[in-house]
Structure 1
């Protein structure tokens, strides 16, 4: 029956014509045909690894047929080990439907140990490819992972990491953003979690907010205020700032954050090269729309920092520093000195003249962006 296809219409109970190309259970036969080699391949792979015959408890057929909720710790541990060590077994597990049992355990806080094993298994499973990631989201993974993140505890960070893996796929970014509690749960974890929880929540939000539509949702959920209230490390701060500075709601919210300019000024003084590059970009975007922030930036010494960075041997930093310097001049008062930098008064002009003795700065402007060329020459 399976080989030939069932040729009777399930509605009318009438046989199909002999020349009809329609075979209703073709998909079922295809699944059966593809399932058997997969089981054989996974079983043979495990046997080669162990160099012994498989015990019944590790046979994929036995595992999937006996797995139910709630599962035993031994069964989940076996699944975790096979998924971690055997790439062929990941595809087999994804196609078996057993992921739904893992997801139910992932949201259960009654057994933290089983929750931990299930989340780790799901994380390894999500590494099998984009199809698996999309399939897990279709199976309702967002509901279970959001529940695990909201409940807190030692496994919240692991749930956030799994969510980051799912968000790598563009279509999943959109789905996660539309979920009623995923972004909210991550923002809550960011505000109340410990160091590891904050780090994983930051990474997940950063990945999710690469989709522009999710930035506004994250801002409304408190993602902009959270990093500053938790004194996040500079790397996390500038990543967040760059992400949300590209969104008008994000820029408007940054203006209301106490200490926003002070923290970014600190990154300009002591941050990494990448941190300085992005901090300059963020300050330029925000200060271009707010005069008060321009004056605050000057009080924090950002203008003087730009004087130094504009001659730094790094094209992006120099370009961003020059752009910020011009923004501060236009929005906050002052004028350009003889070497193209801001001179607010005579003392500033003298300082800039002294700087010009060490090098000559030539700035060429393009319609789309500033092109910066630095020509260093020895003093005579």
Structure 2
């Protein structure tokens, strides 16, 4: 970091071979564990944009490295809006849609849970028509995935009656009821709260 390595790494991320891009992404991931490095890396011109591009168009290994690096960077509040403005939502949601990339679903849901805590992330996720996709995860994915999908739906529906009505209209009541019975304690709380809000707004 003291030697100013991030900027040349970003150059490799943009123009290197796929193997070199993967290695640069993995190096940034390792460096981004330190909070002060999250700030420096996120503030480096083109760093987050290059990681988002790798997440969208990289090899399976490149996508995984990019997802890991972006997760670390987005823990820092100031990087959340940068990631959203760099277009992170599209590749994240494309990964959720593509069952061939199921090995990245956990990472994607965790990144989304970090981004949705920021108002720009929440707005971008809502505009991306993600609700139907999250409901599909409630029906078909593993318990860990369902827990995060429930939490994301809860965040999207908080003080948003339009999204809440959409959740109901798309048939979420049945999988949410199941999660309220059999999910983890965290998932149960979120599912029950969503169902209660549906009742209060007379959409259930």
Q: TM-score, normalised by structure 2?
A: 0.88
Distance 1:158 1:325 in 2: 45
Counterpart Cα distance in 2 of 1:225 and 1:245: 14
Please identify which structure carries the higher strand content: 1
SS in 2 for 1:249: helix
1:151 to 15, 21, 25: 15
Q: Distance in 2 between matches of 1:212 and 1:314?
A: 27
SS at match of 1:311: helix
Matched ranges for 1:1-380 at <5 A: 137-154=1-18, 155-230=20-95, 231=98, 233=102, 234-258=105-129, 260-312=130-182, 314-330=184-200, 332-334=201-203, 344=204
Deviation per CA, 1:169-220, whole angstroms, max 9, x where unpaired? 1110111111111111111111222222111111110011111111111111
Cα distance in 2 for partners of 1:296, 1:237 equals 22
Aligned residues: 197
Please identify, of 181-190 and 299-308, the stretch whose mean Cα deviation from structure 2 is larger. 299-308
Check the 8 A contact 1:287/1:328 in 2, yes or no: no
Q: How far apart are residue 153 of structure 1 and its match? A: 2.3
* Maintained 8 Å contact 2:12/2:24: yes
Would you say the 8 A contact 2:67–2:108 is kept in 1? no
Equivalents in 2 of 1:313, 1:229: separation in Å? 26
**Unpaired runs of 5+ in structure 1?**
1-136, 335-343, 345-380
User: Which structure 2 residue ranges, 5 or more long, are not aligned?
Assistant: none
Distance in 1 between the 2:8 and 2:65 partners?
A: 17
Query: In the alignment, is the contact (CA less than 8 A) between 2:182 and 2:188 conserved in 1?
Result: yes
Deviations 1:309-363 (A, max 9, x none): 1111631221121122223334x524xxxxxxxxx4xxxxxxxxxxxxxxxxxxx
What's the secondary structure of 2:49's corresponding residue? helix
- Pairwise CA RMSD: 1.8
Q: 1-side partners of 2:123 and 2:14: how far apart?
A: 28
Deviation at 1:162, TM superposition (A): 0.7
CA pair 160-303 structure 1, distance change in 2 beyond 3 A: same
For CA contacts below 8 A with separation 6 or more, give which structure has more relative contact order: 2
Structure 1 position 221, deviation (Å): 0.6
User: Which of the two has greater helix per residue?
Assistant: 2
Residues of 2 paired with 1:289 and 1:153: CA distance?
46
- Judge conservation of contact 2:147–2:183 (CA < 8 Å) in 1: no
- Please list the CA deviations of residues 237-260 of structure 1 after superposition, one character each: whole Å capped at 9, or x if unmatched: 3112201110100010111113x1
